[in-house]
Amino acid sequence: MTACTPHSHRSLLIAIALGGVQLMGLSSALAQYGASPTQTGLFFDDLRARQKAERAATNSGTRDGDVTYDYKSGVYRSNEEEGMGQRSTDYQAAREIARPSVRSGGAAYSARTVGDYTNYAGQYTSPTGFFAPTYVSDPFLNGRRNVKVGPINVGFGLYQGFEYNDNVNRSGTNPQSDVISTTLLNIDANYQVTQNNRLSISTAIGFDHYFDNPDLAPYGGGDFVLNVLPGSTIAFDIKAGPVFITVYNRTSVRPAVRNDFALTQNQVFGVFQNDTGVAANWRINSDWTLALNYMHSFADPLEEAEEGTVDAVNDSQNFGRTTDSLHGSLSYSPTGSWVAGVEGGITSLLYNGGFNNDGTLSNFGSFFVLPVGDTTYIRLAAGYQNFDFEDVRFAKGSTQFPRIGGIPLTNEDNNDLSDFYYGVTISNQLNSRVSQSLSFGHESSLNVTSNFITSDYINYGLSVIAWKGSRISLSGYYEDAEASGGAYAQDLSQYGLDFHVAHRLSSKISLGAGYHFGRTNSNAAGEFASFGNFDQHAFNFDLTYVLSPKCNVSLGYRYYITDVTSGAPGFNNQDFEQNRVILGVNYNF
């Protein structure tokens, strides 16, 4: 083994910066690959991190996943590098309560991510990368065990949960309770075909069962609601000289929301999403690196939403779409002390129906990564976005958009985009106990009731190990968003705060408590848009007991309050409260 010189050490730090700045949970909330530069750039960061992990795995064989509790710092530390596709969990405990899910009363949806089917449209970044399922267990016990089956390395994790929810339909007038069972099997398997070829699968797949009110399930019959978590991927990695190639297929089956203002159950439905692509990372020489990715993606709603308090828009037309994207990133680092590069690409967009408009999306820009010492990283990105949509045709013999009974048949939006974008990410490790991150930017992405939506956003996170066995996490966000136009266009502003305290009482028992506050103010820019203002408060409490190094049991309580302060007729009666009690068992084989 060669010695690590100062220059090589600095080069290693830069490589980690390129592949890991956003892996630390610092980027903005997920938007859409191929439409949003944030999501597209995040993909290439995940790709570099994946290929770095694949290279290490090829050299070392299996990945163990053991963890050791460090009483000096008061946290569990992994005995290996973080799992492939994993981002830092420093802020996730605080942010988890704000992350929207189909059964929770949380509504901290991000306007700039509402059209994204690759992940849950929350204000914060997903805790896992593009090539890993969104499965988060107790943050103090995040290791995995491997099983050797011939030449195949297999990691299994099983989750079984039971939830009592006293208001599954999130109603202020007729709440419906239910007991719901959730079973998830996590599989992380790989097979080293040759020294330079590796086949892997990473997925979390399972079922929900609604015992009392199966009709309240977001899709399916309620007896068995299939879940394939976003990020579930089968991939074939190839090393051909200086080029790393990844051929992948990524699938998810999950609930989605009709828009970013989903307070009622009938705005939730199921979506099947599939991404197939091939990505390559070519180390041209010691200074230059080129990464390319082609992806074919389609999303199909599993059912149409029930008609009720929302406009009767057919979900297959409103959400079903196909995209073909080609994007690239060229980076230059001549000294190993900084990285500069250009990034961009083009996407063809085709909707299944005629409600939204087909189009061509493109962006081009540059980025700059600068380490400041060994504890601070700064990433800057800026450029130009262009969205060119087909125009909505007027009704035959008329100068008006087509309607039936006065209800629009299209989004009635003929606006295109020609605008700048920028994003800034700063991560800082103040000392061994305190870390913080800041990200802010301006960008546009696809919307579901207009052609696109433009947002200005800022996120901040702080993590502190205050005493042995503790972690205090604080996060906040602000977003101001404006839809491009049309009959259903909304303009809104949102801000919120998330606070969480976790304490490890012993090697067996840990406690956690958190609070979330969020405020959403929206205005109806379009004739048929909903509008209203509401506040949300959420409280959570968790108790985790480690039965063995492979198994833990958790008991959680969630309480949500939604207070509608003003709104259109029929909207201000959507105040509701919700209590959830969750008992879960995690077993890592």
In DSSP notation, 131-193 reads TS------TT-----EEEETTEEEEEEEEEEEEEES-TT--SSS---EEEEEEEEEEEEEEEE
Picking from 14-23, 48-57, 501-510, 552-561, which range would have the lowest pLDDT averaged per residue?
Answer: 14-23
166 within 8 A of 177, measured Cβ to Cβ? yes
pLDDT, tens digit (0-9, with 9 covering 90-100), for 473-503:
899 999 999 999 998 888 889 999 999 998 9
Note the pLDDT of residue 92: 56
- Residue 536 and residue 452: Cα distance in Å, rounded? 26
According to the model, what pLDDT value does residue 469 have? 83
Give the whole-angstrom CA distance, residue 489 versus residue 524: 7
Residue 260 in this model has a pLDDT that exceeds 50: no
pLDDT at 10 over 70: no
Amino acid at 472: I
Q: Distance (Å, rounded) from C-alpha 152 to C-alpha 413?
A: 52
Three-state DSSP class for residue 499? strand
Smallest CA-to-CA distance from 355 within 276, 265, 258 is with 258
Stretch among 2-11, 206-215, 456-465 having the lowest mean pLDDT:
2-11
Give the sign of the dihedral formed by CA 317, CA 319, CA 320, CA 321: positive
The mean of the pLDDT values for the chain is 77
Cβ atoms of residues 392 and 365 within 8 Å: no
Residues with Cβ within 8 Å of 284's Cβ and at least 6 positions away in sequence, in order, are 242, 290
- Is the pLDDT at 574 greater than 80? The verdict is no
Stretch 50-60: mean pLDDT: 61
Here the tokens at position 486 are: 């049309």
CA separation for the pair 473, 139 (Å, rounded): 12
Pairing of strands 452-464, 403-404: unpaired
Measured CA to CA, the distance from residue 263 to residue 556 in angstroms comes to 23
Residue 63 tokens, joined: 């990945």
Tokens of 434: 């305190």
In angstroms, rounded to a whole number, what is the distance separating the alpha carbons of residues 165 and 175? Answer: 10
Report how far residue 329's alpha carbon sits from residue 45's, in angstroms, rounded to the nearest whole number: 10
Q: What is the DSSP letter of 19?
A: H
Bridge partner residues of 296 (DSSP): 276, 324
pLDDT of 109 > 90? The answer is no
Please say if the pLDDT value at position 22 is more than 50.
no
Q: Is the pLDDT of residue 351 over 80?
A: yes
Closest CA to 263 of 478, 576, 480, 550: 576
Q: Using one digit for the tens of pLDDT, what is the confidence trace for 151-206?
A: 888 878 888 999 999 988 888 888 889 999 989 888 888 888 988 898 988 888 98
HEC-encoded secondary structure of 273-335? EEEEEEEEEEECCCCEEEEEEEEEEEEEECCCCCCCCCCCCCHHHHCCEEEEEEEEEEEECCC
pTM, entire model: 0.82
Highest mean pLDDT among 293-297, 408-412, 525-529, 544-548 belongs to: 293-297
* Residues in CB range of 403: below 8 A, 6 or more apart: 395, 409
Query: Rounded to an integer, what distance in angstroms lies between the CA atom of residue 475 and that of residue 123?
Result: 10
**Secondary structure of 364-412 in the HEC alphabet?**
EEEEEEEEECCCEEEEEEEEEEEEEECCCCCCCCCCCCCEECCEECCCC
CB atoms within 10 A of CB 63: 20
Tell me what pLDDT residue 117 has.
59
Give the pLDDT mean for 373-397: 88
Query: Hey, CA dihedral for 168, 532, 122, 311, is it positive or negative?
Result: positive
Buried b (16+ CB within 10 A) or exposed e, 147-175: eeeeeebbbbbebebebebebbbbbbeeb
pLDDT of residue 107: 61
Q: Which residues contact 187 (CB under 8 A, 6 or more apart)?
A: 154, 155, 156, 201, 202, 203, 204, 205
| Helices 37-60 + 6-20 axis angle, to 10 | 130
pLDDT: which is higher, 468 or 220: 468
